[in-house]
Amino acid sequence: MDTCPSIKNILLLDSEGKRVAVKYYSNDWPTNSAKEAFEKAVFTKTQKTNARTEAEIAMLEGNVIVYKFVQDLHFFVTGGEDENELILATVLQGFFDAVGLLLRGNVDKKEALENLDLILLCLDEIVDGGYATCYSFILLINFDC
Amino acid sequence: MAQPLVKKDDDRDDEAEYSPFLGIEKGAVLQEARVFNDPQLDPRRCSQVITKLLYLLNQGETFTKIEATEVFFAVTKLFQSRDIGLRRMVYLMIKELSPSADEVIIVTSSLMKDMTSKTDMYRANAIRVLCRITDGTLLTQIERYLKQAIVDKNPVVASAALVSGIHLLETTPEIVKRWSNEVQEAVQSRAALVQFHALALLHQIRQNDRLAVSKLVTSLTRGTVRSPLAQCLLIRYTTQVIREAATTQTGDRPFYDFLESCLRHKAEMVIFEAARAITELNGVTNRELTPAITVLQLFLSSSKPVLRFAAVRTLNKVAMTHPMAVTNCNIDMESLISDQNRSIATLAITTLLKTGNESSVDRLMKQITNFMSDIADEFKIVVVEAIRSLCLKFPLKYRSLMNFLSNILREEGGFEYKKAIVDSIVILIRDIPDAKENGLLHLCEFIEDCEFTYLSTQILHFLGTEGPKTSDPSKYIRYIYNRVHLENATVRAAAVSTLAKFGAMVDALKPRVFVLLRRCLYDGDDEVRDRATLYLNTVGSDGEVIETDKVVKDFLFGSLDIPLANIETSLKNYEPAEQPFDINSVPKEVKTQPLAEKKAPGKKPAGLGAPPSGPPSTVDAYEKLLSSIPEFSDFGKLFKSSAPVELTEAETEYAVNVVKHIFDRHVVFQYNCTNTIPEQLLENVTVIVDASEAEEFAEVASKPLRSLPYDSPGQIFGAFEKPEGVPAVGKFSNMLRFIVKEVDPTTGDVEDDGVEDEYQLEDLEVVAADYVMKVGVSNFRNAWESIGPDFERVDEYGLGPRESLAEAVSAVISLLGMQPCEGTEVVANNSRSHTCLLSGVFIGNVKVLVRLQFGIDGPKEVAMKLAVRSEDDNVSDMIHEIVASG
């Protein structure tokens, strides 16, 4: 097991599985089509589940994925098979809360696209290179907003 | 960080499908990027354009080299603006563009200025960008600032520097290692985040220094770590230290108390990390497990799916090695069968199947039946596999479990799922004799309505092998003959073969089978007609009730004794010629599996399907090489070639390894030599072999090497005669003798005069295992019974204290040099006994099967019972001798 917790990607998709904003930190999906195929698989697998009150969890292609939905937005965080599920869930919650604050509670696709700059900055600061997780998601909440 | 960007107005029309990026187009956005060059910058407009560029990149659009360069240069102009929001977007854009080394210079000075700025946000971000795009030379210039940043009083700046350090450690470790003191100071920081990143970096700097890691863990486990994430890291480092210490110390496990205390931490993340760490300890005892299992049990009834999943997944793993420890959780586990999250439900079911006892099987099966209809195929396969292992554990319960399998076999499902069920039934039939007739009938019913040609043919083949041995073989004929009417050509052909097998094996059925086979002569397909004709003419006796000739049986239905992969390569290499293809020329040696196999240790062997194919054999290559040397051409057929054995240490002047080629009356040593000194050329290279400790061998030929230039390997051969068919053993000492000539490496000129020199090589041994060839059998039990007990030899051995059972098993396997069968070389974790099945061919083409039963007692004393069956009692004795002397 890798001793440093690591996040493989963070995905923000819409209710049809299309990208709103995504960030990949690992090289498991080297091409854009590989990334899109993964996003499609994740979306299809989780689509029918109810992840609106509590974060849900699933395994796919040897990865652990935690996810949460709100309005027409689907939030995903992917980690390796051996990753501590609760750390992944903390990252997801951090991202989720940060987006909620940045969009001032109006969390839906339209608001997210209109404030895409904020979302992208948030993705950049939550995880740095996948290596050191949670680079500043705590900061985003404590510091930024 | 600092302040957020000014949020945009919300006064646009509320269109349902409105998107600010509707109809966005790369060319147009690149045009828009010209605003970056305006003398009067509009920060808001620039921000919008950068967002658009980032949006394009995020959607998978790519910029050409020229486009990227243009955008990069334009973006660098934006450093003039003092707008904080815009500056953040500029940092992000530069990272996304990942400029080349010559472009980086343009922004270096701007970024270095920001690094020393008074604004925290500038400092933090400039560090991250600079470290991402920089190279080693620049790093030395900014090192001073980075060290300062690590101990900066602003936690964001400190974290940025630490995380950058983690990234830089991969490319320029020597520089980052100089920051140890600052990083150590940061570990003591009051800010949780800084502490976490500092600990991660400190560990990575020291990870190759066991003692330092151990010291780090010792000091931190006593102190207080504030950040839960840092605490999780500490737990991981601690388990690492425990793992490494366990081999040297005995008695109480160090740091266990620390792990146990983490179970009472206030963060769930830490509790879980500690619980999982405890369950994964090497050779964990029940007493150590109990507290961890207790907290995991609490998680099982949590309202959060993630917690339930984490707990049930961990308990599932524990159940594989310590089923008894998990039984306390069974009630909580049962309520999870109806969990909304199907992953959790499946894990709960399979855990229950592992921990269940004989009396609870029936109740459990009832619950699972309801559950099966609403889960996906991938989960069903997991359940089927769990049921299979449960059935093997409680053979008496085969009836209800077999019924369950046959019921789900009739329901809808994809190929992989059906295959898993069929494989399971086949394995149960093979391992539980009572289940055979019942199971075969289930399979017969399945092929009546099976849409998968592959499964139909596999089942027909299996019926042909097992059906004739049942009490009433005739009842299967109807099912088989129906296939001849109703299926596609592939299945029809398989059915014809199966019918013929019944005819050949069961004499009473022969007349009836012949009637059926004759009808197949009018089939529309060539293959079906050909098979029917072949069987009618060979099984023979015109369909009378007469025993079929054994030779015919062996020819038609006997196993080939040759790995399919080998025959495949041989057939591919065969070029049509006058000479017919000779099956005896196919090497019988099973090649060792590629390492990829290791990924799935302990996996049950598949019931059906071809044996795993090995990589292309090198035996062919050796055989070709040896037959091209006239001195060895009359040695006959090559029996076996060993793996190369190193005769020199790594990184010496001359690297030599040897391959032992075994023939019936000869042994050939092939010395592969490499000269690793560029300034030398070796000539007249020979190996002087001293065979005084190998009395039965006599040197007959040798083939020296005329010259051995730098870095181009060459071969030297030595041949020895030995008594025919006897596994003679002995020790050979070797000396490399040659003439050295100096070479000028720059010009390649060789001096004329050389000096004679010698180089001592390590000794080489021919051992009994060299005379045993790895040849697998597809069904060990059948093979074992067909050899019979005539030349069986059984004895018991004490192997003395061993590190583990697995180590003892692999030692005996490599001593005998035989092929492990049916995955029995894998020893389950923590088991106290193990049975291992081996097969091989001894020199002289004698088939040998070995059954090893191992047992281990308290102080790691391993005892072994060795049963050998072969076609020759000398060979059986020989195997015992190998073990007795080894």
Model confidence at B3, pLDDT cuts 50, 70, 90, reads: very low
Mutation target vs A (from B57, B58, B196; most A CBs, 10 A cutoff): B58
Average confidence score pLDDT of chain B: 82
Specify the pLDDT at position B495: 92
Find, among B349, B416, B417, B418, the residue nearest to B389 by Cα. B349
Whether residue A145 is predicted with pLDDT greater than 70 in this model: the reply is no
Average confidence score pLDDT of chain A: 82
Average pLDDT over every residue of B24-37: 88
**Encoded amino acid at B434, one letter:** D
The residue with tokens 């050779």 is: B283
Angle between helical axes of B84-97 and A116-126 (0-180°, round to 10): 60
Bin B707: left if φ > 0, else alpha if -120 < ψ < 50, else beta.
Answer: beta
Whole-number CA gyration radius for chain A: 14
To the nearest whole angstrom, how far is the Cα of B163 from the nearest Cα of chain A? 6
Specify the pLDDT at position B247: 54
Query: Looking at residue A54, which CATH number applies to its domain?
Result: 3.30.450.60
| Alpha carbon of residue B799 to chain centroid | 30
Residues whose CB falls within 8 Å of the CB of residue B208, separated by 6 or more in sequence, listed in order: none
Sign of torsion over alpha carbons B196, B199, B202, B205: negative
Positions of CATH 1.25.10 in chain B: 467-558
Specify the pLDDT at position B11: 44
Summarised one tens digit per residue, pLDDT across range B162-183 is: 888 888 888 888 888 889 899 9
Token pair of A108 as six digits: 């839906």
Please answer whether residues B676 and B693 qualify as being in contact, where contact means their C-beta atoms are separated by less than 8 angstroms.
no
Average pLDDT over every residue of B832-836: 83
CA-CA distance, B809 to B863, in Å (whole number)? 11
Positions of CATH 2.60.40.1480 in chain B: 595-605+614-766
Q: How many domains does chain A have?
A: 1
Find, among A132, A3, A8, the residue nearest to B168 by Cα. A132
As to burial, measured by CB atoms within 10 angstroms (0-12 exposed, 13-18 middle, 19+ buried), residue B778 is: middle
CATH architecture for segment(s) B467-558: Alpha Horseshoe (1.25)
Of the two residues A143 and B165, the one the predictor is more confident about is B165
Is A77 contained in some domain?
Answer: yes
Specify the pLDDT at position B773: 82
Q: How many residue pairs from chains A and B have C-beta atoms closer than 8 A?
A: 146
- Residues of chain A with Cβ-Cβ distance to B18 below 8 Å are 110
Of the two residues B629 and B196, the one the predictor is more confident about is B196
User: What CATH code would you report for B769-885?
Assistant: 3.30.310.10
Please answer whether residues B99 and B133 qualify as being in contact, where contact means their C-beta atoms are separated by less than 8 angstroms.
yes
Summarised one tens digit per residue, pLDDT across range B649-702 is: 877 788 888 888 888 888 888 888 888 888 888 888 888 888 888 888 888 888
Average pLDDT over every residue of B465-491: 87
- Residues of chain B with Cβ-Cβ distance to A55 below 8 Å are 304-306
The residue of chain A with its CA nearest to that of B120 is: A143
The residue of chain A with its CA nearest to that of B2 is: A144
Specify the pLDDT at position B465: 86
Average pLDDT over every residue of B62-82: 89
- In chain B, the percentage of residues whose pLDDT exceeds 70 is 91
CA-CA distance, B92 to B812, in Å (whole number)? 60
Q: Worst-scoring range by mean pLDDT, B51-65, B357-371, B459-473, B587-601?
A: B587-601
Interface pTM, i.e. ipTM:
0.91
Summarised one tens digit per residue, pLDDT across range B283-332 is: 888 888 999 999 999 999 999 999 999 999 999 989 888 888 888 888 88
Whether residue A6 is predicted with pLDDT greater than 50 in this model: the reply is yes
Model confidence at B588, pLDDT cuts 50, 70, 90, reads: low
In chain B, what are the helix, strand and coil shares in percent, each to the nearest 5? 55, 15, 30
Specify the pLDDT at position B383: 84
Please answer whether residues B371 and B348 qualify as being in contact, where contact means their C-beta atoms are separated by less than 8 angstroms.
no
Specify the pLDDT at position B431: 83
- Residues of chain A with Cβ-Cβ distance to B193 below 8 Å are 134, 136, 138-139
Work out the angle at residue B162's Cα, subtended by the Cα atoms of residues B161 and B166, and round it to the nearest 5 degrees: 115
Model confidence at A135, pLDDT cuts 50, 70, 90, reads: very low
Other CB atoms within a 10 A radius of the CB of residue B247 amount to 9
Token pair of A128 as six digits: 């740095």
Sign of torsion over alpha carbons B135, B138, B139, B140: positive
Token pair of B139 as six digits: 């790093």
Specify the pLDDT at position B608: 45
**CA diameter of chain A:** 40
Enclosing domain of residue A92: 9-141
Q: Worst-scoring range by mean pLDDT, B342-356, B386-400, B591-605, B611-625?
A: B591-605
Residues whose CB falls within 8 Å of the CB of residue B38, separated by 6 or more in sequence, listed in order: none
Q: Worst-scoring range by mean pLDDT, B223-227, B433-437, B453-457, B605-609?
A: B605-609
Summarised one tens digit per residue, pLDDT across range B94-108 is: 988 877 777 888 888
CA-CA distance, B624 to B627, in Å (whole number)? 5
Please answer whether residues A8 and A25 qualify as being in contact, where contact means their C-beta atoms are separated by less than 8 angstroms.
yes
Q: What is the DSSP letter of B116?
A: T
Average pLDDT over every residue of B569-583: 76
Specify the pLDDT at position B291: 93
Residues whose CB falls within 8 Å of the CB of residue B719, separated by 6 or more in sequence, listed in order: B631, B632, B635, B666, B667, B668, B669, B699, B700, B701, B702
Q: Worst-scoring range by mean pLDDT, B475-484, B578-587, B807-816, B849-858?
A: B578-587
Is A73 contained in some domain?
Answer: yes
Model confidence at B250, pLDDT cuts 50, 70, 90, reads: low
Residues whose CB falls within 8 Å of the CB of residue A139, separated by 6 or more in sequence, listed in order: A125, B1, B155, B156, B159, B193
Find, among B820, B807, B831, the residue nearest to B775 by Cα. B820
Average pLDDT over every residue of B810-833: 79
The residue of chain B with its CA nearest to that of A141 is: B1
Model confidence at A67, pLDDT cuts 50, 70, 90, reads: very high
The residue with tokens 């700097």 is: B205
CA-CA distance, B583 to B588, in Å (whole number)? 10
Find, among B474, B412, B416, the residue nearest to B440 by Cα. B474
Positions of CATH 3.30.310.10 in chain B: 769-885
Token pair of B718 as six digits: 């030595």
Chain A (85-144) residues lying within 8 Å, Cβ to Cβ, of chain B: 85-90, 102, 104, 110, 113-118, 120-121, 124-125, 128-129, 131-136, 138-139, 143-144
Summarised one tens digit per residue, pLDDT across range B724-752 is: 767 788 888 888 888 888 888 777 778 87
Give strand pairing partners of B839: B819, B849
Please answer whether residues B882 and B769 qualify as being in contact, where contact means their C-beta atoms are separated by less than 8 angstroms.
yes
Specify the pLDDT at position B781: 80
The residue with tokens 């609490």 is: B298
To the nearest whole angstrom, how far is the Cα of B317 from the nearest Cα of chain A? 12
Query: Do the Cβ atoms of B193 and A139 come within 8 Å?
Result: yes
Residue B556 has, within 13 A of its CA and on its CB side, a CA count of 28
Summarised one tens digit per residue, pLDDT across range B783-804 is: 888 888 888 888 888 888 777 7
The residue with tokens 């009083």 is: B153
- Residues of chain A with Cβ-Cβ distance to B20 below 8 Å are 113-114, 116
The residue with tokens 């099982």 is: B300
Model confidence at B619, pLDDT cuts 50, 70, 90, reads: low
State the CATH class of domain B595-605+614-766: mainly beta
DSSP string, B639-685: -EEPPPEE-S-TT-SEEEEEEEEE-SSEEEEEEEEEE--TTEEEEEE
Find, among B340, B306, B427, the residue nearest to A87 by Cα. B306
Token pair of B170 as six digits: 């991969």
Rounded to whole angstroms, what are the CA distances from B719 to B469, B620, B639, B706, B729? 50, 19, 15, 18, 15
Average pLDDT over every residue of A101-113: 89
- Residues of chain B with Cβ-Cβ distance to A56 below 8 Å are 305-306, 341
Q: Quick check: B268 contacting A, CB < 8 Å?
A: yes
Specify the pLDDT at position A39: 94
Is A113 contained in some domain?
Answer: yes
Specify the pLDDT at position B611: 37
Summarised one tens digit per residue, pLDDT across range B497-511 is: 998 888 888 888 888
Q: Worst-scoring range by mean pLDDT, A48-57, B596-605, B781-790?
A: B596-605
Find, among B196, B312, B348, B157, the residue nearest to A90 by Cα. B196
Q: Worst-scoring range by mean pLDDT, A24-33, B763-772, B828-837?
A: B828-837
In chain A, what are the helix, strand and coil shares in percent, each to the nearest 5? 40, 25, 35
Sign of torsion over alpha carbons B562, B568, B573, B577: positive
Token pair of B695 as six digits: 């009395």
Specify the pLDDT at position B54: 93
Pairing type for strands B654-662 and B705-708 reads unpaired
Bin B90: left if φ > 0, else alpha if -120 < ψ < 50, else beta.
Answer: alpha
Of the two residues B14 and A15, the one the predictor is more confident about is A15
Residues whose CB falls within 8 Å of the CB of residue B272, separated by 6 or more in sequence, listed in order: A84, A85, A86, B295, B296, B299, B307, B310, B311, B314
The residue with tokens 């009433």 is: B472
Please answer whether residues B468 and B502 qualify as being in contact, where contact means their C-beta atoms are separated by less than 8 angstroms.
yes
Is A4 contained in some domain?
Answer: no
To the nearest whole angstrom, how far is the Cα of B3 from the nearest Cα of chain A? 6
- Residues of chain B with Cβ-Cβ distance to A114 below 8 Å are 8, 10, 20
Give strand pairing partners of B681: B741
Please answer whether residues A46 and A74 qualify as being in contact, where contact means their C-beta atoms are separated by less than 8 angstroms.
yes
